[in-house]
A and B are shown apart, each in its own frame.
Chain A
């Protein structure tokens, strides 16, 4: 695996008077703070008082690389939204210390207006929001970090393109670049590789594995079971409630997958919240 290196032109002498040396920039940054352990406690999630997924009791250890799989409508995206703090639980709790600063969340593609006249550089630079805030300037150090992030996802030279001119795969690369600049200890990816060609998927998967090696916690909703088996050591199979959780090979068995399919089909969308004793739920 080769990571593209950024070659930056030597900075003029006067820049060093005001700025840190550029060499400090290109090194891959370590995550801000250690990754926290994520704990779900009898968690029920849903919309308009109707649960979409319920009775989740599990602990995701720090630094885990976890795939969430399950049939369509199983509540995977809902769960991720709750982890990101965008959805208030109907019951139970998510314990994720340091939120929202500790979390970088990649929702499904549809939310960004790609007609907006903004460049790839500006889009990716938004990943630095927690450092530069709403008013801080993007100085040359920050600009170099943005270029380095773009180079890491294979988009070097795309800085001045508008986001509307990117293909689907290139756009997803740009979103990954922004995600990596957010530099969060916990990364939540919602179907990051859907509708993306295999080459792009391979490149972005490498980035995900790198994040894992940095000690970050990565939780990704995925559909490709082969991909999960090959790259993700841990897996959570859900179908409106957890079916199995643990080492991927032990989770993705034929029986578990069949059970997930049945459970999902039998679920009543309009059922009210059902209460189950946490102790009972854990057994």
Chain B
């Protein structure tokens, strides 16, 4: 029996290098992208993360058009496109009557259409699928180093600017009053979001990259009340999703990216029903806002 469990849960990673790489990639994503997702969630910018992930596509597609499936070209193209759309959306929001969400939505829809158009100009449908849904099972050394590097950078930067970042999230006016950190943190955070989306894009594709950010963050928010546990639990859930998703993909022969995100979705629904902030306990035990 125990041998069976081992065969199901660990043997694929023992036998196949690509599974180990995929697992390492998932670990890096859950340590880098998921904490960013937590802050996106807490800043009420979850949908903005979604929009940004689409904004990356035309840049990556241009890189692809020029250099084929090249890691460097697609990465740089994606980062530039993401930053450009973020800046343009901010600019339009500040200088017209449109709010930021509206201008962002406009830009990302255009980006997505442009991106798909560009990829299909040259590529085969397989390439389009690769761009849209990623290829976590085909991570080469370069992609893995890129994902791990971005995760390390993210963790390092967040550790340094945690206090200003937290204040920027919940009391921006105060941060503006006591320091000059507000714009630095705001734009620095946007850069981190774009970097992590590009990193997630290599593993999970543009359409799924946000999933590993937001779903574990939302599930963890339902379980815990403090920021520290929230970050830890979200990362743990993200890694668990990656692990289970890879196994399901291996055994059931389904695409890995969607499997990972669906497992994260399961965690989310479980939390939605069972967690203290979810549906059932609130129904059963009433509103709990006076407890500490």
Contact = CB atoms under 8 A, between A and B. Distances in A.
Given A116-B170, A134-B161, A135-B160, A165 B181 contact: no
Contacts of A135: 160, 163
Contacts, number: 61
Contact of A129 (B44, B169, B178): B178
A111 B292 contact: no
Nearest to B227: A117
Interface in A70-109: 84, 86, 100, 103, 105, 107
Interface in A147-195: 160-162, 164-165, 182
B95 interface: no
B256 to A, nearest CB: 32
Given A111-B173, A113-B169, A117-B227, A165 B178 contact: no
A250 interface: no
Range of interface residues on chain A? 20 to 34
Contact of A134 (B163, B171, B173, B224): B163
B230 interface: yes
A117 B42 CA distance: 8
B167 A126 contact: yes
B164 interface: yes
B289 interface: yes
B145 interface: no
A5 interface: no
B67 interface: no
B291 A100 contact: no
A130 interface: yes
A107 B173 CA distance: 9
A280 to B, nearest CB: 35
Given A134-B179, A164-B289, A182-B178, 10 more contacts: A84-B177, A116-B42, A116-B169, A117-B227, A118-B166, A118-B170, A119-B226, A126-B178, A161-B292, A165-B290
3 nearest CB pairs, A to B: A116-B170, A113-B170, A129-B178
